[in-house]
Amino acid sequence: MISPTVKLRRLKTRAFALALTALALGTTPTLADGDSFVIKAKRVYPVAKESSEVFEPGMVIVRDGLVVAVGKDLAIPPDLKVINLKDAHVVPGFIAAANSMTPKHAGDESVAAGYLALDAFDNYGDFQEALAEGVTTVHLDPGSHRLLTGQGAIVRLGGSPMSRILNERSDLTINFNESAYGPPNDVTYQTPASSDVAIPPGVRQRPDSRLGQFVALEEALRVAESGTKSGLHPAALTNAWRNNAPLRIHVDRSVDITGAVRFLYNHKRSGYLVGGAQADITAQEIAEAHVPLVFVMGEPLDAISNDLGPDPDVVDRDIQALKKLRGATIALAPPAGARVDQLRLSAATAMRAGLTEAETLAAITRIPAEILGIDDRTGSIERGKQADLVIMSGPPLETSSHVKRVYVGGLVAFEAPYVDAVVVHAGTIWIDENTRIEDGSVLIEKGRISAVGTSVPRPRFADYIDAGANSFVTPGFIDAFGHLGLDGDTSSLNPNLSLASMVGVPDVSEHRVAMSGVTTVLTAPYAASPQGSQIAAIKTAGTTRDKRLVRNAASVYFDVRKGDPAGVLGKLKPRLEAGKKYLEKWQKYEKELAEWKEKKAKGEKIEIKKNGDALDEEAQEEDPITGTWEVTISGGPIPEPQQAKMLLKLDGADIEGRIRIPGQPDEAKVTATFDGKHVSGQIDVETPFGPPAIEADLTEPDHLVGELKISDIVIDLDATRTDKEDVQFKVVKSRKRGKDGRPLPPKTDDGLEPIRAALEKKIPLLIAASNQQQIAQVLKLASEFEVGIVLLDAEGAAVHFEKLIELAIGVVVPTKIVRWLNHTPYHQADDLSRKGVSVAFQSDAEDGARSLRNLGLHAVQRGMSPDAALSAFTTRPSKMFKLEDEIGSLKKGCHGDLVIFDGHPFEARTRVKRVLVGGEEVE
């Protein structure tokens, strides 16, 4: 039956779900296109020219691919979707102003302005490696192997292929470097060649020396200025020169830097330098001339460099140079020959020279944009610029930070592959009652904790949660006895039934409990069956059944509170004995199987008996079932009572037999279990509703009363034993063997399986007891059967504390933390834990479990130590239920269930900030 309150609750749940669906289906206005959105992030670095302000938390509003607004707290336009990236650091796309993305051209000409770097650009390329390190814009270079190699271009690496070109002819590329010396002779082939059309000898080209480079260039420029010489390259140079193309001059040596600066001054040309290995010597000159420099870092990070550089006194030339260059306009570029994806990290090494984080970040974003003349479009996150955004997992220049996503022009150009890993960094990490780490991290991979400590691995693309210095991380709380998900069903449960069958997708009430920090509930029925009811350890969050189920049968719940002290064990003991027999059967089977395997391994011949091995005779003192029964069935749809005959045979707790049901031509097989009083089983007959079930009680010797159930139809059953011999029905009980002589396992009994597990000490029994006498009886039983036990409520437990410690029995204390005992207030949890007994808290409620932490608050207020209270929510219950390798602590191997608080969980002001279950955030 469903109570009205439960019905109401279910209705509410449904209404909530419906509201959610309605929301998703668009009761809100239609959202704008893909390149319009709002990003909310932990921190936004606009890298603006005027101020180096960082917004924390920050927001960026993007419309049609352009940044509309950036700030801390902006009004969100109603038509834009909000992308909430609460751990993300957002920086402008990085710009590689010098790189080796384009190969050098294959021409021989020393001065050849007709080569366009853009021709070598594949605008359909996906550039995932560069984007994965945040590089969104690059300068393309026609090469640095000739004096004037051609014209550069500036492109972005994402967006639609046709929109990627920012400047197709951005500059004239000049090299005052040794690499440009000694160009090959320039040969013009006369085609078609013939005997009278000779191939002329090659023309020697300049430069061969430092002097030659200036002569050759000046000469070429004079010709270009006059515009008289025909040919592709001279014409291109004339054009570029007349259009005032900026000069991009590659220089490394100090003399050449001086020469380049003078060259720019003489020709009154705008331009910039690239390289600058010896810029330290000419730093002042560069700064005074206001010539910007794209400083190419010298040390590649992915290889050991044997090139010590020209100056033997310089140990680390990058730092030397950058220190002296303070004050000049400097952009940073990855080492020559290195891939652009090294830009971020090699730039970060510049901070060794004293650059601040803001300066370094600007040197790979805003400053290169200014130098390249694209600062009106990109280089910073400011109103009106392209939304070239890099979403990072941590501070942009920190080594372990990873790029999670990249937008180019508001479109996603890179999305980090999904990695089932998350790192949580916190001020305090409470692993268990003995260990806590200050300023440490937890790594959760594939749902389990794989590392915890002050320094943990940060797998590439893993999520990163920096909870802050004040944060306090604990294992997910465990409700040691709750009813979450039962939806008010207060009936006791059949011992065969597993609660795990009700586990599905978490609903609203489970979500609320999870958000409160309670991640696992030992879910029990409201009332225990006399034969014991199964308890399941179920998580409050998780997308699949497997993720939610910690243990199917975590315990068996018995209740001895109501019985008189002497009769307490009347119900419990036979069940344990039945379990013991069942266990022995299995042990025997396992032994035989082991022997068989050994024999097989040795290659011995295995004899296969036809009738199997004879079963050992079991002395049966008194058999209440075996024999012939006259059955009367009546009621339900049957108009008149009908007679039937049933032959039964009892074997241990199993009943086998046959029955002739009226209206059925043949005899049907009966299988049932017997626990001393109750017969529960089924008749193997095909009906549309499945086989009919028998439930009957032995009301007096030789008399069974009960019912026969087919779907909803209930038929009364009344049977009397007329003969105790199983004359007509003889079961040849034999232990069956498989075809290869392998022993076959005994029949599985779902009800006894958990008892067997308990007897094998895999799980404990949960026994609700209250007074001292009941507890004494339970303790006696525990010793006798050597079975693990957890006591529920157990108000009188304190007297037996020594025994409890000896037998390692824990107590789940009642929800009433302090009660009156002998006219004084008594704090059971505190008392027991001080005495050394394991204590756990329970909610004894469904979604009331969300207030579970309040019990701890209360307990601490009345004197319990905060750490003892915390362990009573985490490590203690997990140990009691032998789940310590699964949940309840933050040690390696446990489930990634953790709660991030902004202080100690038992400070009243402390809030639950975030909850992770199986490494996935509950939100």
Partner 1 sequence: MKSNRDRTEIVVNRRFSIQFMTALAALLIATATFASPPAKIALKGGRIIPIVGEDIPVGTILIEHGKIKAVGKDVEIPYDAMVVDVTGKVVMPGMIDAHSARGLDIRNENLDVTPFLDVYDAIDPSKLYFEDALRDGITTIHAIVGHNCVIGGLSRAIHPIGITPDEMTQQPSVSLKLSVAPQNRSDRMAQLATFRETFRELAEYLDDLAETKYEESLEKKDEKIKVGPDEAKKLGKDLIKPEDYDDKHRNLVKLTGGQLGAFVYAGRAADIAAAESLAKQHGFFDQTTLVLGPRCYKAIEEIKATGRPVVLDSQLLYREENPITGKITETFIPKVYADAGVAFSLLPSGDTSLAERYLNYQAARCVRNGIARKTALEAITINPARAIGIGDRFGSIEVGKTANVVVMSGDPLDFSSWVDLVYINGIRAYERESDVRLKQLLGEEKPEIPEQVKGEKNEGAPVDPKAGHSKGDADKLEAPAPNEMTKDAEKKKE
**Interface residues with partner 1 (CB under 8 A)?**
102-107, 112, 114-117, 119-125, 128-129, 132, 142, 150, 161-162, 189, 191-192, 230-232, 235, 417
Nearer to partner 1, 235 or 685 (CB): 235
Q: What is the DSSP string of 575-628?
A: HHHHHHHHHHHHHHHHHHHHHHHHHHHHT------SS-EEPPP---S--SS-EE
For CA atoms 458, 464, 468, 473, give the dihedral sign: negative
Cβ proximity to partner 1: between 104 and 571 the closer is 104
Closer of 461 and 729 to partner 1 (Cβ): 461
- Centroid of chain to Cα 73: 29
The DSSP call for residue 501 is G
Give the residue with the Cβ less far from partner 1, 107 or 530. 107
What is d(CA 409, CA 207) in angstroms, rounded to the nearest whole number? Answer: 43
SS3 assignment, position 84: strand
Name the residue among 293, 300, 254 with its Cα closest to residue 275: 293
Listed residue (536, 576, 488) closest to 11, CA to CA: 488
Whether the CB-CB separation of 849 and 479 falls below 8 Å is answered with: yes
> At closest approach, how far in Å is the CB of 364 from partner 1?
21
Measuring CA to CA, which residue among 809, 813, 882 is closest to residue 842? 813
| Nearer Cβ to partner 1 (228/434) | 228
Q: Which is nearer to partner 1, 390 or 568 (CB)?
A: 390
For residue 623, what are the contacts with CB-CB under 8 A and spacing of at least 6? Answer: 650, 724
Which is nearer to partner 1, 142 or 796 (by Cβ)? 142
HSE-CB of 726 using CA atoms within 13 angstroms = 17
Q: Chain centroid to CA 3: how far?
A: 39
CB of 119 to partner 1, least distance (A): 4
Tell me the two tokens of residue 426: 């916190």
CB of 136 to partner 1, least distance (A): 16
Please tell me whether the peptide bond between 207 and the residue prior to it is cis, using omega within 30 degrees of 0. yes
**How would DSSP label each residue in 785-839?**
HT--EEEEE-TTGGGGHHHHHHTT-EEEE-S--EEEETTEEEEHHHHHHHHT--E
Is 163 or 492 the residue whose CB approaches partner 1 more closely? 163
Q: In the complex, what is the shortest distance from the CB of residue 371 to partner 1, in angstroms, rounded to a whole number?
A: 23
CA-nearest of 375, 405, 347, 774 to 560 is 774
Output the smallest distance, CB 500 to partner 1, in A: 36
CB of 116 to partner 1, least distance (A): 6
* Minimum separation from the CB atom of position 868 to partner 1 (A): 47
The Cα diameter of the chain in Å comes to 131
Q: Which helix (H) or strand (E) holds 348?
A: helix 343-348
Task: Tell me the closest approach of the beta carbon of residue 460 to partner 1, in angstroms.
Answer: 9
Considering beta carbons, is residue 106 or 566 the nearer one to partner 1? 106
Q: Judging by beta carbons within 10 Å of its beta carbon (0-12, 13-18, 19+), is residue 651 exposed, middle or buried?
A: middle
Residue 108 CA to residue 110 CA, distance in Å, equals 6
Closer CB to partner 1, 132 or 389, in the complex: 132
712 CB-near residues (< 8 Å, 6+ apart) = none
Q: Name the packing angle between helices 254-267 and 210-226 (round to 10°).
A: 20
Give the phi and the psi of residue 428 in degrees, each rounded to 5.
-135, 135
Q: How far is the CB of 106 from partner 1 (least distance, A)?
A: 4
105 versus 756: smaller Cβ distance to partner 1: 105
Q: Shortest gap between Cβ of 737 and partner 1 (angstroms)?
A: 50
In terms of CB distance, is 195 or 822 closer to partner 1? 195
Among residues 193 and 799, whose Cβ is nearest to partner 1?
A: 193
Peptide bond between residue 201 and the one before it cis (omega within 30 degrees of 0):
no
Report the residue number, 174 or 273, with the smaller CB distance to partner 1: 174
Distances (CA, A) of 274 to 253, 293, 350: 11, 6, 16
Q: Are 541 and 548 in contact (CB under 8 A)?
A: yes
Cβ pair 882, 841 in contact under 8 A = no
Q: Provide the minimum distance between the beta carbon of 589 and partner 1 in the complex, in angstroms, as a whole number.
A: 47
Nearest approach in angstroms of CB 407 to partner 1 is 17
Q: How far is the CB of 583 from partner 1 (least distance, A)?
A: 50
- Write down the least CB distance from residue 301 to partner 1, Å: 18
Identify the helix (H) or strand (E) that includes residue 15: helix 4-24
Least distance to partner 1 from the beta carbon of 348, Å? 21
Strand 703-710 relative to strand 693-700, pairing = antiparallel
Q: Sign of the CA dihedral 681, 684, 685, 687?
A: positive
Task: Pick the closer one to partner 1 by CB: 173 or 520.
Answer: 173
